[in-house]
Structures are given as structure tokens and as C-alpha cells.
Structure 1
């Protein structure tokens, strides 16, 4: 087993590097709060909220899935006789693929509904006498371990019980370890105490749900299969990385432009303000969907004309994905720029800023010492609020065919592929439902957390 691990060839995509940099930056941000009591007290208000803490746990859970899916590698091919050179597969896998190996190894022919033992569509079949008849064929993998089909429901109930028990035991161990850590570190004062039981309940529910999915997926298709027999649960979990990354990267790309132009327009006024207003007014007047679609088509043309730069499908999909993040960021900064311009116009007229001007303090020092700290709450609030907007934007863009690469798992691609099946009778509903549930949980958690951040950081809410 260890020899097989050492033979794997690591693959590092640009998006992999970015997600680890983002996680490291997030950890460094919360670590540096220890040296800033005022900022730490404000953020403590977010985590003293039961809803805010629970939402943060859900977001961290999604981020952990994205991290596992960002550790990529290629597996070695079987060596030819007489050759010692190792060749690697063109398929790029991740650690998450290894965790979900039971989902990828049990493909069917076509659609099958959740937990079903039979295909969703009838096929021509032959009996022992050679007579042709139409019926629902038995699935090759789902429920193949059952001695009798009558034990189907009993087997699901037993596996559900064992999975729930395993999830509860694992959560109990983690909660006990955390309680020991808190006691060693000493209890926090009552005024700043965090409602840990809200986090414990949320974590327990997530662990139980994960254990349930993994246990049942060993022998069943929990969310059914798609048109080519691929497991829908696997696709919806793999799409988590796309949703998390596009929400964070696109949001962060809006910040430099919005901050520089917004603060410059509000602080310097005059012709600088006129130029900035002209730029964001012109950009806002262009239909966003058309601008994004045209940009994505240009990226497709570049990929087609430079095939030598994308010798792996994963490289092509990653390039198009990062280009989409860049395009979304470049077309979505106008709202934050307007807010920062208005707030800077107000802050620049305050007495201490005017006093700094009178004492001959440089413009850059005034901006970094007086203007930027007073608009940081707007930046952070917008950063968190825009996250869910970009997650939904990716789903819409992929639905109309100008989103991420078709080979990349995303909730938008799942909805796009399944939209034609919603008119069938009976309806193939599980692909859309799986994408909706996974996307809904992430967006809901992001919105709840952003509301708590706004309440804690916005001075007008106090």
C-alpha cells in the first residue's frame, strides 16, 4: 500500500494553490486578531451568536471538502514488459475521489432513482425461452449484495442505524476532546463565552449525515444516477470545490479594484472622481450576462488555438475556471466601489482628517491610517455578502452554457444536464434536487454568517 502511494504523481493546479493560500490567509487573519482587542471584540460578537457559529461550522465543513478535492495526483499505468519507465494516467484524481471510491466504482447504464434496485427506463429483454419482453432491468451494482430483494428496506434500515451510531460516536469523541482542550485552556469569562453547544449540534448533524451517505453509498445510489449511469451524490459532492472557490476567488478579485478606485474617488474628488464615476457607470450600463458570455467565448477560442498548453483535461478546465473567476470579479466591483466612494466622501470631512491635512500629513498616510480603517467594515460585509451571490451566479452561467468547463463538476452543470429530463413523465428529479440541496445549504450558511458579520461590524447597527 505504501509503495502505491509513493508511486503517485502529484498534480498542482493553480486553483489548488489559491485555495490553500486563501485558507492560510484566513487562519492568519483570525490569528492576528489576538493583537487587536477592538477587532477581536467585534468578531467575538459574531461567534457569540448561535446562528452565526452554526453557519461558520457549516462553511468550514464545505471548505474541508474543497481542500480534500484540491490534493490532486495521477496514478501510474501498468508497466509494459521489459520497460522500467513509468507512465501515468491522463486522468487527474484527488484525495476526495479516494474517499468516495465506492461512488465511482459502481456506475450503471442509465438513470436510476434513489435507493432503487432497478433501472428507471424499460428495456427489451429476453426470457429463458428467447421471448422478447419489455421490463425494468436489474441494476448491476446497487443492491447486488442482497440475497433476496425482500430484504431491501430492512438492509437500508440496518445500515442507517449503524451509520447514525458511528456518526454520533465520532461527534461525541470530538466534543469530548474539545471540552478537555477548553478546560486545559481554562474557561472563558461569561461575557465572552461562546455557545459551543450550537457548534456541537451542527457538527454532530453534519457527521451523522456524512456517515449515513458514505455507508449507504457502499451498496446503493443514495441520490440515484444520471443519464450515463454516474452517481449523482458523487457529482454533487465534487461540485462543492467549484462553489467554494468561485465564491471566494471572484469576491477577492473585486476588492483591489473597488478599494483603490472607490477610496481614490471619494478622497481626491475632482477629475479623479469624474473618471472613476465614468468607468463604473459605463461598465454598469453593459448587460452583465452578455459581457461575461463574450469573455468566456474568447477564453474558449484561446484554449482551442493553444492546445499545446493544455495537455491534460484538468489543466484546461482549471484555466477556464480561473478565467471565469477573473471575469466575474472584473465585472462585479462597481457596487462596492460606489459604497466606498460615498463613505470616503463622508470620512474625509471629519475633523481629525482635516487636522491631519493641516499638519501636512501625506495623502497615503491619511488614507492608510484614517480612511481605510473606517471603511473596513463595509469591505468585510460586502466580501461575505457577495460570496453567496457568486455561488448562485456560477449555477446560472453554467445553466446557460457559459460557465465552467463541461468536464468540471459543478451544480450549474448538473442542473444544465438535467433540465431536459424535467419534462419527462415520470420526472427525473434527483439530479436537480441534489444540486439544489447542496447549493442551498452553502448559500444559506453564507447568508446567515454574513448577517451576523454585518450586525457586528456595521457601526449603524449599534
Structure 2
């Protein structure tokens, strides 16, 4: 097994999340908003979609060296599972479910050279007469993939039900939500159907170098999740520490912190990120011995991009926490703790920090989608992730010239848009539910009622 830097950070973040979940599972003030989220149809449906993306991202974060052909190439578990997609490379563009290239070429036919569409090497190669057999074959394989997905869905339901009965003696609570079951059914069945069809066709076509666009789209999920999560992990400590200190101590501490984030906000973000990325590129160019693998170079640039975005995006949350802390420090229980001689660090940890965590949680969920979109924008202007890294931003950047072709090559841009739209929409919907559940004004009104 080979661990990249981003793999290590993702593993640490996963362990920390599990630990926090175990610590908070019996806290009543946390259970109330969580129960409200659990009873929200929109919240649970969006959570199921996010968990699906997270599962794909985790599969793509387990790396090991492939001994195939003695190449020692570093691949992920997702790469191994999607080996046909990774290896079935065509010559150039081909449309979704096509059996020929997208452009005409001179081909040998009936003993002479003719102008026509060459057959693909892998897409539909099992068909003897594509014009007559293609539609029926696609429908047949889609039906078989549907049955496989149905069997897989039934197995998941039986397994989760059995585990729930052994532990609690009842059916899992989320099964009571019809919308959650339907969403899970659609994801499992549709993913299985596409996966089975991709063994025989390029379901989303191929790009300029003949690489499968469906493979690129699912590989880009990890990049979006890494940008959204690791950047937040870097940004949170700075925002929480400086925001609470500025609001609680005020005076010169507040002045210094305000000067710091005001100065940072005055620097154009794109220019700061561009300068930092160029510095990283110069460093890697001068130390080539430390970055012998393409995937290691790309991973290091991705890590530095997360660090840069984290160091430039903490100011907004810091301002919110400063304002909330200014209000909390004047509350009666804080003044009483100060009058009783409670030490300042104890007041910060016991009274201030727990009462600002709803703002932190809401901001984290809201910032996730904006960071995913930021990666796409930065990659579009060539200051984002490494060009060899699979990302929706790189797909969009590569597709901008394809849109000017005649006939137009639309599937790369469409695939990136659909996958990014699904992830960002699910994150935004879940953020709205979390915001409603953890809003202290709503919680207070419900308690009064």
C-alpha cells in the first residue's frame, strides 16, 4: 500500500470525524438538531448523495503499486475496479455509446481507401453490424445491468436490516423514509447499470486523446472532496482561534487580528494563489529527485493548493466568530464565571467555544460547495490543480476549445457539469437543513413552544 500526503490527511480527518461522532452521540444539545436533520426528507436524501460521493472518493484514496507489466505504477482501489475504463483508450474523440470515431478519416474498405468513420477499438467491438445491432444491444445490456443493480440493492437492504435487528431488534430508522429508500435505489441501480454498460461502450464518450470521459468524471470526485474537506481542515483552527481571541480579549489583541485579516483580504485572492502555485512549481522543478512519480507531483500540488486556499479563506468565518464572541462575553453566565474567578482559558473552552460551534458547523457545510466550485474556476485559468490531475476544472478547461469545433464536442463539459452540479446541489441542500437545525433562535423557539 502506498500513502500519498492527501491520503494521510484524509485518513486522519476520517478518524477524527468518527471520534467526534462517538464523543457527541450522547450529548443532548447535539442530539436535538441531529434528530431534526434525521427527520428531514431533503436533509437525508442529500446526505445519501453526499455519502455516495464520499465512498467513491475514499476508494480513490487507497493507493498501491500495480505490478502489472512490472511497471510499479501507483493506482487506487477505484482504478483497479475501473480497469476496463482506464485501459480502453481510443484514438481520439467518440460520442457517447458510439461505435465509431467522431471525425471522418481515410480508411481501408473493400480493398480501397475511402473517407468514412473508423470503428472504435473497444467501444462496441463485440458488434458485427453496429447499425442493426447497437440499439437492441444497449437496451439488453442496460436491462441486465438494471437486474444486477436490483440484486445489489436488495442485498444491501437485507444486510442492513439483519445488522439492525441484531443490534436494536428493529428495522433501520432511515428505511421509514420513502424518499431515502428511493434515492438509494436510484443511485445503486443507475451506478450498476452504467458500470456494466461501460464494459462494452464509452457511455459518456472519449476526449481528444481517446480517454473515457466517464472515467475522468468519477476520478474527479476525489479532487473535489479533497479541496472541500482538507481546505476546511486547514482553515478551521485559524478561524476559531483568532475569532474567539479577538472577540473575548478585545483591545490590542483584537486590533492585531483585525489588521491581519483585513490586510489578507486586501490582497487579490487569485493573484495570491497564482503566486503561491508558481512558487510550488519552481520548488518541484528544482527538486526533481523528490518527485519522481507523476502522481506524487500532482498530489503535492493538490496539497499545496488546499493549504493556500485554507490560509486565504479563514477570514470570513473569523469575523463571524469574533462578532458572536463579542455578544457571548457579555452574557450573564460568562460574567458570573469571571466574577467567581474562573480562569480565562476555562471560560473560552467551556462557555465560548461550545456556543459558537453552530456557526462553525454551518460555515463548514456552506464553504464546502464554494470550495468545490473554486477549484473548477482556478483550474480553468490554469492556476489550480496539476494538469495531470483528474478534476472537473481540468475537464472544463479542456472542453472550452472542444465547444468551438464543428461538429461540437459537448460530452466532456456536460459530464463535468452534471457531476459537479449533483455534488454542489446535495451539499447546499444539506447545508440549509443543518443551518435550520443548529440555528439557536429556532431551537429556542421550539423549546418555548
TM-score, length of structure 1 as denominator length: 0.92
Is 1:23 equivalent to 2:14 in the alignment?
yes
Question: Which of these residues, 221, 242, 260, is aligned with residue 279 of structure 1?
Answer: 260
- TM-aligned CA deviation for residue 279 of structure 1: 1.0
For 1:104, the equivalent position in structure 2 comes to 86
Question: 1:48, 1:194 within 8 Å by CA — same for their partners in 2?
Answer: no
Q: Give the counterpart of 2:152 among 167, 170, 176.
A: 170
1:358 aligns with 2:339: yes
Query: Structure 1 residue 72 and structure 2 residue 63: aligned?
Result: yes
CA distance in 2, matches of 1:393, 1:272: 32
Kept in 2: contact 1:72–1:95 (CA 8 A): yes
Matched, 1:309 2:300: no
Q: What RMSD in Å do the two structures reach over aligned CA positions?
A: 1.7
Instruction: Give the superposition deviation at 1:285.
Output: 1.4
Aligned to 1:58: 49
Where in structure 2 are the equivalents of 1:423-438 lying within 5 Å?
A: 423-438=404-419
2:186 aligned partner: 205
Cα-to-partner distance string for 1:289-332 (whole Å, 9 max, x where unaligned):
11111111111111101111111111111111000000000000
- 1:288 alignment counterpart: 269
The CA deviation string for residues 46-76 of structure 1, in whole angstroms up to 9 with x for no partner, is 1211111111111111111111111111223
Measure the CA separation in 2 of the matches of 1:135 and 1:374.
69
Q: 2:312 aligns with which of 321, 324, 331?
A: 331
Indicate the residue corresponding to 1:234 in structure 2.
215
Deviations 1:6-36 (A, max 9, x none): xxxx211111111122222222222222331
Alignment partner, residue 298 of structure 1: 279
Alpha-carbon separation, structure 1, partners of 2:14 and 2:186: 24
SS at match of 1:207: helix
Q: Tell which deviates more after alignment, 178-187 or 57-66.
A: 178-187
Which residue matches 1:13?
4
Q: Alpha-carbon deviations, 1:409-443, whole Å to 9, x = none?
A: 11111111111010112210000111111111111
What's the CA shift for 1:77? 6.1
For 1:166 and 1:287, the matched residues in 2 are separated by 51
Which of 186, 189, 193 is the equivalent residue of 2:169? 186
Q: Is the 8 A contact 2:95 2:206 kept in 1?
A: yes
Structure 1: gaps of 5 or more residues: 1-9, 79-87
Match of 1:3 in 2: none
Residues 259-298 of structure 1: CA distance to partner in whole angstroms, max 9, x if unpaired? 1111111000011111111111111111111111111111
**In structure 2, the residue corresponding to 1:92 is in which secondary structure?**
strand
Aligned counterparts of 1:168 and 1:28: Cα–Cα separation in 2: 34
**How many aligned positions are there?**
441
Deviates more, 1:404-413 or 1:198-207: 198-207
8 A Cα contact 2:298 2:388, kept in partner: yes
CA 1:376–1:246: 2 relative to 1, 3 Å: same
- Aligned equivalents of 2:91 and 2:441: distance in 1? 58
Evaluate the alpha carbon distance shift between residue 168 and residue 128 of structure 1 in structure 2; reply closer, same or farther with a 3 A threshold. closer
Unaligned runs of 5+ residues in structure 2 are 444-449
Alignment-derived partner of residue 137 in structure 2 = 155
Where does 1:62-141 land on structure 2 (aligned, <5 Å)? Answer: 62-76=53-67, 88-130=70-112, 132-141=113-122
